[in-house]
Every structure is written in C-alpha cells, then in structure tokens.
C-alpha cells in the first residue's frame, strides 16, 4: 500500500478500484481558459464533465488518472470540483506534453525536476492540490527538448517516488527509446506506463517493452477520426492474443477521452457525437468483445484494478 495524491487529498492505493489510467477533462493550452475564456466555456465544461463522470461512476469506474499537463490546459480546481460532486477519484499530473514551455528550453533536468517536484509535494497553481503522476511526451524521433523532459521526469520520479506516464505517436516503436532513456537515468521500468501503444499492432515491440517491465497503455481504442490506424476490433482481437499468452499483468486499458475539445479542427480526436460513451467506451465495447471471445472476467479485473494499483505501488 502507498499513498497517492488525488485532487481531493491522499488516496490509499488499495482503494483505487477500477481505474482509467489515461484520460483528460479539457483539451486546450496553457492559460487559455483564463486569457480567452470564450474558447473554453467553463460552466458548460463542468456540466458535461459531471455527466460523463457520473455515468462512469454508475458503470463501476472508481478512479480517473487525468494526464493533462500545463501545456494541455490542466485545470486542477475544476478537477477538484468534479471529484467532490461526482465522487470520482481523480489523480492529476505534473510534467509536459508536446507543447513544451519555452521557459524550459536549455534548462537542466534538475532545474525542471525542482518545479515538477514542487507540484507533487506542495501543490499546483497556488493550491494544495498535488500531482500524483508525471506525464511526458515525445515524437519520433525524440527531439532535444523532449529528451530533456524525459530526463527531468526520471529525476522527479527519483525524488518523489511518483510514477511516470508517457505519450507516444502512432505507428512507431518510440516507446523503446523512451525506456532506454529512463534506464540511463536509473528508473525501474515497472514505474513507467507507455501510452498509446495500441496505435500499432506490433507484437515484437509490445513484448520487448513488457519484458523490460513497462506497463502498456491500451488507451486509444475508438478509431473514429483515425482512419490510418487499425480498427478497434482488430486491436481488441490482437489484445486477446497477448492476454492468452500471459501478458495481462502488464496491460491497462483507457480511452484518452476529452470531455471538451477547444480545437475547431480535431483530427484524430473523436467528438462527442462519434463517441457518446465517453469514459465508458471500453466498458460498452472492448470489454464485451474480450469476454465474448473467451477472456475470463478475472483477466479484465487484472487490467482494470490490479495493474493500476501495482503501477502506483511500483510493483515488479
């Protein structure tokens, strides 16, 4: 058992329950909701989020890891409000996505780790709301600034014990390079979640990461808006093969859902019309397909309940 920072206080890892490890509330940018509030209707966002999180709680989901960082428009006060209203346990993130702040350019990993550790140990945006996960993202190839973020995440992890979660681009094997950099920094890879890996069906790639100890994020399952990617049915059937081969203890499932998209053009991001299920898309689609194909419910429980707990506890 370990203590996890949630947006409403300390959360016992044994109380995580059914956990979505990679989701979002608002897709925007740093400062957008304050500087240009007309681009993110906060009242409408709260209303929609209450609906989405309430449905998720009713469907049996207990915890959402909200992996929006500063550059994605992270709003921890809104997360706290939604958590208090709906009863959903929410864990928020420090770190950086692809829109790395220019103020980070040329800094040292230790300098950035100071900032991120403060958000874990003291609070975010002048509040006492603390981050419970470190989010970083790269393209392929990994840029100089992105490598800096990976190394800063590793240093932050060593200081705080908080696990790392990553973003990877579709149809690449870049997760292995992320792992290589974390290994250089001395990170035990069982503390790392490599996101969006099911954007490609590549057994050698996936098995190599799991054998390193990483948790795989099977977290983009609704292919609407992503015609270049395998269908969700093909990805789910491939997931079944990995599960049958004994890899259930290294895979977690999520949706990468955004309650609100502030972009007018959203290629690759399903709209509410395309995905009315929101946070329960997997419950309504992926999980039934797995069960219908013979996957035991105990294996589903491993992915949705046991693995998130083990990830936060740093279990091998």
- DSSP for the chain? --EEEETTEEEEGGG--SEEEEEEEEE--TTHHHH-GGGS-HHHHHHHHHHHHHHHHHTT--EEEE---GGGT--HHHHHHHHHHH--EEEEEEE--SS--GGGTT--HHHHHHHHHHHHHT-STTSS----EEEEE--SSPPHHHHHHHHHHHHHHHHH---EEEE--TT--THHHHHHHHHHTT--GGGEEETTGGGS--HHHHHHHHHHTPEEEE-----TT-TTSPPHHHHHHHHHHHHHTT-GGGEEE----EEEE--S--TTS--TTT-TTGGGHHHHTHHHHHHHTT--HHHHHIIIIIHHHHHHHT--
Is it the case that residue 267 has pLDDT exceeding 80?
no
Of 165-169, 242-246, 270-274, the range with the lowest mean pLDDT is 270-274
Please give the mean pLDDT across all residues of the chain: 95
Is it the case that residue 265 has pLDDT exceeding 80?
no
Residue 270 — very low, low, confident or very high, per pLDDT cuts 50/70/90? confident
Render pLDDT for 70-104 as a digit per residue (tens, 0 to 9): 999 999 999 999 999 999 999 999 999 999 999 99
Is it the case that residue 224 has pLDDT exceeding 70?
no
User: In this predicted structure, what is the pLDDT of residue 195?
Assistant: 98
Considering the chain, what percentage of its residues have pLDDT values greater than 90?
86
Residue 268 — very low, low, confident or very high, per pLDDT cuts 50/70/90? low
**CATH second-level architecture of 3-313?**
Alpha-Beta Barrel (3.20)
Give the residue-averaged pLDDT of 245-272.
84
Render pLDDT for 30-54 as a digit per residue (tens, 0 to 9): 999 889 988 888 898 999 999 999 9
Give the residue-averaged pLDDT of 129-134.
99
């Amino acid at each position: 058992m370990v203590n996890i920072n949630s947006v409403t206080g300390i959360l016992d890892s044994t109380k995580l329950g059914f956990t979505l490890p990679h989701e979002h509330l608002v897709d925007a940018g740093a400062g957008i909701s304050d500087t240009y509030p007309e681009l993110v209707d906060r009242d409408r966002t709260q209303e929609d989020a209450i609906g989405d999180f309430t449905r998720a709680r009713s469907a049996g989901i207990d915890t959402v890891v909200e992996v929006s960082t500063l550059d994605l428009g992270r709003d921890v006060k809104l997360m706290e409000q939604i958590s208090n209203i709906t009863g959903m346990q929410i864990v928020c993130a420090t770190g950086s996505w692809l829109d790395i702040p220019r103020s980070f350019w040329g800094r040292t990993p230790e300098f950035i780790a100071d900032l991120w550790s403060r958000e874990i140990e003291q609070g975010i945006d002048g509040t006492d709301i603390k981050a419970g996960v470190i989010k970083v993202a790269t393209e392929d190839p990994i840029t100089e600034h992105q490598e800096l973020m990976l190394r800063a995440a590793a240093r932050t992890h060593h200081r705080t014990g908080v696990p790392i979660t990553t973003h990877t681009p579709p149809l690449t094997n870049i997760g292995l390079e992320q792992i290589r950099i974390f290994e250089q920094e001395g990170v035990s890879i069982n503390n790392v979640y490599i996101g969006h890996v099911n954007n490609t069906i590549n057994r050698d790639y996936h098995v190599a990461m799991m054998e390193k100890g990483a948790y795989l994020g099977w977290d983009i399952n609704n292919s609407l808006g992503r015609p270049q990617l395998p269908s969700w049915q093909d990805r789910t059937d491939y997931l079944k093969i990995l599960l049958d081969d004994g890899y259930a203890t290294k895979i977690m499932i999520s949706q990468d859902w955004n309650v609100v998209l502030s972009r007018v053009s959203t290629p690759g991001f399903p709209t509410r019309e395309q995905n009315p299920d929101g946070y329960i898309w997997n419950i309504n689609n992926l999980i039934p397909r797995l069960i219908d194909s013979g996957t035991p419910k105990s294996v589903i429980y491993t992915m949705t309940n046991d693995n998130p707990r083990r990830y936060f506890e740093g279990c091998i």
